[in-house]
Each structure stands twice: as C-alpha cells, then as structure tokens.
Amino acid sequence: MRGKTYTLGDLSGSSIEYFRLIRNIADRYLEKYPDENTLLILLRDGGSRRSLFQRFFGSDNNLKDLSRSLSEYLSKYTTDTAKHLSDLSVTDRFDSIITTKEKEYHLNMLEIEVANRVNRGPFRESEYKMALMAHCLRDFRDYCQSEPGDIEYLCKHCEKECFVHLGSMILEKYSIKPYISATMDHKTLFTGLKKQHPSLGALGIACIPQLVQGMRLCDKLDIPSVGVPLDVNRCAMWLGWTGEAWFNLEELEYLLG
C-alpha cells in the first residue's frame, strides 16, 4: 500500500509525524525569511522552473543550507521516486506531473505548508468556499454511488469508511462545499466559479504535484487556496490502474480549525 513516488504515512495515521516535521522545517525557513509571501514566491520560482532551480539555491547560502536539510529530513518519504523516473516511457517524460523529481517533491512539500500559512486567513474569510477531493479517495471495495453535481461529482455517502465521505463530513461542518475532482478542466472550473462568486476560496486534497499545480493556478486567478496532500499517490496516472488512496483527516481538521 505504498505510493508510486512518495509515501507520507499509512492508514493508521502515521503521517502525523510528516506534518509535524514539515511545519518545523517551515519555521526554520522563516527564521531567515520572515515574510511568508516572499518565501512562497521563492519556493515557487525554485520549484516550478527547473532552469531556475540551481540559480535559486546557488544564489543564497541560507537557502542552500536549508535545501540540504530538506533532502536530509524529507528523502525518507520519497524513496520510490528514483525508480519511478527510471521506468518512465519516452512519452511519459513529457508529462510535468509524473516527471517530478525528488528535490522538486521536497520543495513542493514545503510550498504547500507555506501557502497554507499565507492563504489560511483569506480562505476562511471567503464568502463561498469549495473543495476538490481526488477521485482516488473513493472506496473501491464497493460500487461508488457518487453523482454529477452542479460543477463536479458529489459524494452520496454510500460507504462510511470511504475517505471522500469522511472528508466531506469535515468540510461540510465548516460550510465548505465538497466535490470529487473527476472530469472538469480546473482552469475552466475556477474561472467560471470566480465569475459567479467573486469572494471564492478553494481547498484541494490531491497528490503533491497536482495539489501544487492547482494551488498555483488559484493564485494566478486571485483565489485563496489551501490544501492537504494525499498520504500516497496511487491513481491510474501513476500506477496504470486505480488504487485506493487516503489522507490525514486530523490534518484537514487542523487546517480548518
């Protein structure tokens, strides 16, 4: 039950250790860069364009030292990344998501944490809040009864142990409309929602590289976004077949509480 490229924890909730660690690492970065917005921009520049990656870390000794700590502390969660990359087909190598490298995963992990700190307040203050949960969170032991909703699929609460059901219950408690991300192009989705709801906040629950991609898109559209990464990446894009994934429910409560 490991992820294809990373594993933060198992179904017992052991990813609590990961979330404590990434918060401690963010605190260390912010000792050098107390402006969270500036740090977020630097992380996005360093992690989104590989041509800038070496320039980013090579130009600042503080960041260079802290980048070593990222690998030191986070590499235990990405031990499967190198094998995945070595097994990619020629066509797969043009996909920016599945070709994410190990150091980029580490940057992405920190970026999610810093983005959550920057956007948590504005997200809470948004008049309309919605969430997109990865479709691989559905319980595949039985037939999923989710149905198309107004913008994306909606959970019908057919299986009480399903992570979509469990996540939806938490989200609804905080007046956040939960959806299953299954079909729609996200840029089209968020552009349309922004027109309907000028004060829009978005929450994502997805694998690390897709979550980062979605949060960056929201930032470009002036939508405050927060997110919780899946503990593992196991959908068909990664495995070639759809495997069940999960996420840390306590972390979602922490983010919203």
What span, in angstroms and rounded, lies between the C-alpha atoms of 110 and 255?
Answer: 15
Nearest to 64 by CA among 80, 41, 42: 42
| Per-residue model confidence as pLDDT tens digits over 159-169 | 888 999 999 99
Average pLDDT, rounded, for the chain: 89
Query: What's the pLDDT score for residue 10?
Result: 75
Residue 88 burial (CB count, 10 A): 13
- Domain boundaries defined on the chain: 16-256
For residue 131, give Cα distances in angstroms to 5, 210, 238.
24, 14, 23
| Per-residue model confidence as pLDDT tens digits over 61-78 | 555 666 677 889 999 999
Query: What's the pLDDT score for residue 51?
Result: 41
Q: How confident is the model at residue 59 (pLDDT cuts 50, 70, 90)?
A: low
What span, in angstroms and rounded, lies between the C-alpha atoms of 48 and 91?
Answer: 21
Query: What's the pLDDT score for residue 43?
Result: 84
Nearest to 12 by CA among 249, 239, 233, 254: 249
What span, in angstroms and rounded, lies between the C-alpha atoms of 174 and 203?
Answer: 12
For residue 25, give Cα distances in angstroms to 15, 73, 148, 199.
15, 9, 40, 32
Query: What's the pLDDT score for residue 46?
Result: 61
Q: Can you give the pTM of this predicted structure?
A: 0.91
Q: How confident is the model at residue 50 (pLDDT cuts 50, 70, 90)?
A: very low
Query: What's the pLDDT score for residue 49?
Result: 46
What span, in angstroms and rounded, lies between the C-alpha atoms of 186 and 78?
Answer: 27
Does residue 32 surpass a pLDDT of 60?
yes
Q: How confident is the model at residue 138 (pLDDT cuts 50, 70, 90)?
A: confident
Query: What's the pLDDT score for residue 60?
Result: 54
Amino acid at 110: L
Instruction: Write out the two tokens for 103.
Output: 């150091």
**pLDDT top residue among 11 and 88:** 88
Q: Are 187 and 223 in contact (CB under 8 A)?
A: no
